Structure 1
Amino acid sequence: MNFLPSCATVLLPSGERLHTTALIVFCLFFLFVTLAGFWAARWRRPPGGIATLEEWGLAGRTFGTWITWFLIGGDLYTAYTVIAVPAALYGTGAMGFFAVPYAVIAYPYMMLVLPRLWSVCHRHGYVTFADFVAGRYGNRWLTVAVALTGVLALMPYIALQLVGIRVVIAAMGIHGEWPLAAAFIILAAYTYSSGLRAPAVIAIVKDLMLYIMVLAAIIILPLKLGGYAHIFEVANQALATHTPAATTSLRQGQFLGYSTLAIGSAIALMLYPHTATAVLSASSANVVRRNAAMLPAYSFLLGLIALLGYVALAAGISIKDTSSAIPLLFLKMFPEWFSGFCLAAIAIGALVPAAIMSIAASNLFTRNLYGAIARRKMQPHEESNMAKIVSLVVKFGALAFILFLPTPYAIQMQLLGGIWMAQLFPAVVIGVFSRWFHPWALLAGWAAGMASGSAMAASLSLKSSVYPLHLPAWLGGTWAMYAAIPALLLNLAVSALLTLVLRAAGAAEGIDTTDAAAYVG
């Protein structure tokens, strides 16, 4: 007699199923990573403790190749990535696959730019990219602009990690906000005590679980569903019934939007504050280079994750909220215990980036917002104490965002986040190779890019970031592209033009306090 179905699920009064076995497995793994997060406070702890921003926010810059690899991978491949990328293919077909080429583009960019940034930041003790901008250009308001952009872009990103946890918990039959609040209180506690060491330890667990989950899914599910040829055939038929209709290949008119989404997202990805935090925790520039060479393994993983969107269509998953497609796929196709394992991997995948993001936001506030506005050099212990408190405020702010505002707001704000972060490219990326731009011109270009990019997204009611740019007929007419790209081009044009004007007028440029030797090699 088979007792598993009756033991694995319970019928709730509402008619929904409570997946008891999956929930138990989920809770056991969540408990394990919670204990690991608190233990991390003792891991590689220096004799003086972790009462400085260097130790709490960057783990003393001691991480080697493998830990950095797990940390950056855990940072970039979030719970919402695991849910949203296949959900995009589930809902919109081939257009959602842009996440794979953008990851491929990002790594050569990372190889070229980030080791150089690491060298300068390490030489001068910079904790954030805004610190670098402050040293490079000597302009307080440009520094504040860079820091403020990072904090604003991170808040909805942290909130989206909460969305990922909530979707997973709801799929198992648990509703209400208390499990979400409990998860984030635990996250806040161990991040406060352990700093960056906590997500570094948990990232190792998360990535191992994620690889097991994906490899099992791409081997077992196609065997159950008749192979990939059948999956693509059924997915194509299902996508044709969507509104608007979609396909598993790009349609005419989608190519520019697809390519600019990939390019613009890659530009923004390496400028996010949580990326900076993970990279600056590395022990050397060579560690960063080795990670740029190794991280394409995650691109391969992302491609496999993306295909799960088509697998869900072939498996007959039918739901309006596309974010629930993957959790429901696992619960339908796998045994309860393994479904619980997979859902735990997704939820743990939210804890790692959420912790790093909150640390990154607190570093920015402490060093570059409060520090720049107050104009007071804080003692190391004062910086770490303030950063810990701000990290709590950021987490609970993201929690309030989810509890009191509709979920689409977080998704829409995240669309803006990528557009905003791309506007830091001239000051940070070009700045690490050349100081040709005038700092006041960079500030004006940043403002122009932020305003135009936000206006383009707002004109689409924040439902898409692919904007139909109307140009004269002799320039090709209408071009549908990622709003970050035309905004960045305007940013660069304004920065270049004003640099020439301000130089001609003899305007003061600020002092570059960075060491020229740090840029060599």
Structure 2
Amino acid sequence: MDAVAVSVFVFLFLLVTVLGFAAARWRRADDMGSLDEWGLGGRGFGSFIAWFLIGGDLYTAYTFVAVPALMYAGSAVGFFAVPYTIVVYPIIFLFLPRLWSVSHRHGYVTPADFVRGRYDSRPLALAIALTGILATMPYIALQLVGIEVVLQVMGLQAGEDASWIVQDAPLFLAFAVLAAYTYSSGLRAPALIAFVKDALIYVVIIVAVIYLPTKLGGWGAIFDAVGASFDKFNKDNADAIATGAAAPKAIVPPATAQWAYASLALGSALALFMYPHSVTGVLSTRDRSVIRRNAALLPAYTFLLGLLALLGFVAIAAGVQVSNGQQAVPQLFENEFPSWFAGVGFAAIAIGALVPAAIMSIAAANLWTRNIYKAFLKPDATASEEATQAKVVSLLVKVGALVFVLGLPKEFAINLQLLGGVWILQTLPALVVGLYTRWFDRWALLAGWAVGMAWGTWLAYGVEVVGKPGSHFGGPLVAVPGTETKVYIAVLAVIANLVVTIVLTLLFRAVGVAGGEDETRAEDYAADVGDVGVEDELDPHAPSHT
């Protein structure tokens, strides 16, 4: 344990803790007793705040650990995260302003709210809500995994001979802090903390990609070292690679992995803004133009992500030796940076977990409250009761994530998060297509969702971990039958989803199945601040909104 690094880390962690609780008074309403205020921050964030909030929401601590870990491990498709975060912004530029408009016109808080109103189907809305919660839970768990990795490298976890309570005490403390200020401040807490988180991340990554290459002979020498390391591994493990017991390492994907790379990038781009926490960040904004401006500005994070991914190669060139690739970047910081700056780097990663974890827990709580609790358990719930229910559930969601981290193997949480991408993409036909047309039948959408969920899960279950015959959930890719070409499971599943939906829609239309009543109108999808029914930033001193 390095006392200087730990001191800097603790100072910065305490700083964001103070900010988290102070956020309860930042832009505070007289009454936080509504989901509009607690769960969406008053729906009033402008471009500046939204850029930090949405960026902090999407680029998580696990991103900053896992992406360079893939590069460190020699994954040929490990760089897919960069093109997918380039592709995603033109996509959201098109459909998210429409979702913002119809949600603000009708007071929708969750994507499932929109689906219920659009298709007049509580079962379909329930399916969307459950999918969102299911996909979000392991995502929150991985934020805690990111914190745990940093604690391990810093030496803040007791040895394996200590009791699990002592060993994981720092993680319990981080969890308690996160839970407390999310409960009191709602979405305002991660919005305020995101300023510190993003500033730290930018400083650390930019310094790292300038400073570290100067110590290692430049980028040319780094790539040469990586190429030599991968060649040596492939030569020494030729027999294991030939039998499938080991995966080859490469910088550029071979021909058989190119479809895997492309489908991972496209599928991930389509799925990213299906996640409830992404929608929550978008619906908290003041007007449609905020979303468009952020779609143009957020690629700055993609540039940062590309630099971050290269740190996995820097770790190889620097001789970092870790059994868990997720520790590669934290260990690189400890080995190569002065102690005080290593502490800044550790804090950046840990704080980078707090922002998305808070937003994810709020989004999951909103789904439970609006689309399960109020829809099925207590239809007459008041706005205050909704807010109270959401606060409690946000705590329970974090407890569930903590159980994932402490009670289950880390690989299980990682595999479930990969499966979460498969699941959440099955909401695309109802949510995104529904923003443009109501041609799909509501029961056909439900059947397509069920087929996509079941088939995608079954395909993922059949993927073995490399070198572990008989294992399951070994990754997000599956080979196309009769070939060695692999593709992203989520893309195959959503194609099946769409095929079933289209075929059954034609059938149900032919036999005259009732389609329900659409509560939205064409003009709702272009509504903006100032139009009838669309408020400007909610008056923080008005009574609770229903």
2:182 matched residue in structure 1: 191
Change in Cα spacing, 1:215 to 1:193, as seen in structure 2 (3 Å) is: same
Q: 1:403, 1:126 → 2: CA distance?
A: 35
1:301 matched residue in structure 2: 304
- Conservation of the 8 A alpha-carbon contact between 2:256 and 2:484: no
Moved over 4 A (4+): none
Asked if residue 232 in structure 1 is aligned to residue 235 in structure 2, the reply is no
1:5 matched residue in structure 2: none
Asked if residue 463 in structure 1 is aligned to residue 469 in structure 2, the reply is no
Matched ranges for 1:327-346 at <5 A: 327-346=330-349
- Conservation of the 8 A alpha-carbon contact between 1:83 and 1:164: yes
2:511 matched residue in structure 1: 505
- Using the TM superposition, name which of 178-187 and 87-96 deviates more: 87-96
SS state at 2:77 partner: helix
1:164 matched residue in structure 2: 146
1:156-190 CA-to-partner distances (Å, cap 9, x unmatched) read 00000000000001101121111001101010000
Q: 2:380, 2:5 → 1: CA distance?
A: 51
Which of residues 10, 25, 41 is equivalent to 1:42? 25
Q: 1:331, 1:97 → 2: CA distance?
A: 24
Q: 1:416, 1:464 → 2: CA distance?
A: 8
- Conservation of the 8 A alpha-carbon contact between 1:469 and 1:481: yes
Q: CA deviation at 1:519?
A: 1.6
SS state at 1:431 partner: helix
Q: 1:28, 1:144 → 2: CA distance?
A: 43
Q: 2:516, 2:380 → 1: CA distance?
A: 19
Asked if residue 483 in structure 1 is aligned to residue 481 in structure 2, the reply is no
Q: CA deviation at 1:239?
A: 2.4
Q: 2:415, 2:93 → 1: CA distance?
A: 31
Which of residues 68, 73, 83 is equivalent to 2:65? 83
Partner amino acid, structure 2, of 1:341 = V
Asked if residue 282 in structure 1 is aligned to residue 282 in structure 2, the reply is no
Asked if residue 352 in structure 1 is aligned to residue 355 in structure 2, the reply is yes
1:7 matched residue in structure 2: none
1:413-468 CA-to-partner distances (Å, cap 9, x unmatched) read 00100000111110000000010000000000000000111011100011111111
- Using the TM superposition, name which of 371-380 and 432-441 deviates more: 371-380
2:325 matched residue in structure 1: 322
Q: 2:376, 2:450 → 1: CA distance?
A: 19
Q: CA deviation at 1:511?
A: 1.1
2:544 matched residue in structure 1: none
- Conservation of the 8 A alpha-carbon contact between 1:91 and 1:239: no
Q: CA deviation at 1:94?
A: 3.5
Q: 2:83, 2:374 → 1: CA distance?
A: 38
Q: 2:40, 2:92 → 1: CA distance?
A: 19
1:8 matched residue in structure 2: none
- Conservation of the 8 A alpha-carbon contact between 1:123 and 1:518: yes
Q: 2:496, 2:399 → 1: CA distance?
A: 36
Q: 2:374, 2:382 → 1: CA distance?
A: 11
1:181 matched residue in structure 2: 172
Which of residues 185, 201, 204 is equivalent to 1:213? 204
1:32 matched residue in structure 2: 15
Partner amino acid, structure 2, of 1:497 = V
Asked if residue 97 in structure 1 is aligned to residue 100 in structure 2, the reply is no
SS state at 1:481 partner: strand
2:241 matched residue in structure 1: none
SS state at 2:432 partner: helix
Asked if residue 404 in structure 1 is aligned to residue 407 in structure 2, the reply is yes
2:253 matched residue in structure 1: 250
Which of residues 426, 437, 441 is equivalent to 1:438? 441
Q: CA deviation at 1:375?
A: 5.8
Q: 2:286, 2:201 → 1: CA distance?
A: 26
* Number of matched pairs: 498
Q: CA deviation at 1:238?
A: 1.6
SS state at 2:39 partner: helix
Q: CA deviation at 1:509?
A: 1.2
TM-score normalized with structure 1 length = 0.94
Partner amino acid, structure 2, of 1:397 = G
Change in Cα spacing, 1:22 to 1:427, as seen in structure 2 (3 Å) is: same
- Conservation of the 8 A alpha-carbon contact between 2:76 and 2:257: no
Q: CA deviation at 1:95?
A: 1.1
Partner amino acid, structure 2, of 1:426 = P
Q: CA deviation at 1:499?
A: 0.2
1:383-416 CA-to-partner distances (Å, cap 9, x unmatched) read 0000000000000111111111111111010010
Q: 2:112, 2:336 → 1: CA distance?
A: 47
Q: 1:38, 1:49 → 2: CA distance?
A: 16
Q: 2:117, 2:366 → 1: CA distance?
A: 16
Asked if residue 515 in structure 1 is aligned to residue 516 in structure 2, the reply is no
- Conservation of the 8 A alpha-carbon contact between 1:65 and 1:287: yes
Q: 1:252, 1:435 → 2: CA distance?
A: 40
2:530 matched residue in structure 1: none
Q: 2:75, 2:218 → 1: CA distance?
A: 19
- Conservation of the 8 A alpha-carbon contact between 1:93 and 1:249: no
SS state at 1:500 partner: helix
Unpaired runs of 5+ residues, structure 2, are 158-166, 235-245, 464-471, 528-546
Q: CA deviation at 1:49?
A: 2.3
Q: 1:235, 1:50 → 2: CA distance?
A: 53
1:19 matched residue in structure 2: 2
Partner amino acid, structure 1, of 2:4 = T
Q: CA deviation at 1:319?
A: 1.5
- Conservation of the 8 A alpha-carbon contact between 2:41 and 2:284: yes
Q: CA deviation at 1:516?
A: 2.2
Identity %: 54
Q: CA deviation at 1:245?
A: 2.5
Partner amino acid, structure 1, of 2:109 = V
Q: 1:325, 1:520 → 2: CA distance?
A: 47
Q: 2:99, 2:526 → 1: CA distance?
A: 11
Q: 2:348, 2:322 → 1: CA distance?
A: 22
Q: 2:385, 2:247 → 1: CA distance?
A: 54
- Conservation of the 8 A alpha-carbon contact between 2:56 and 2:198: yes
- Using the TM superposition, name which of 293-302 and 507-516 deviates more: 507-516
Partner amino acid, structure 1, of 2:474 = K
TM-score normalized with structure 2 length = 0.90
- Using the TM superposition, name which of 191-200 and 93-102 deviates more: 93-102
1:414 matched residue in structure 2: 417
Q: CA deviation at 1:478?
A: 5.5
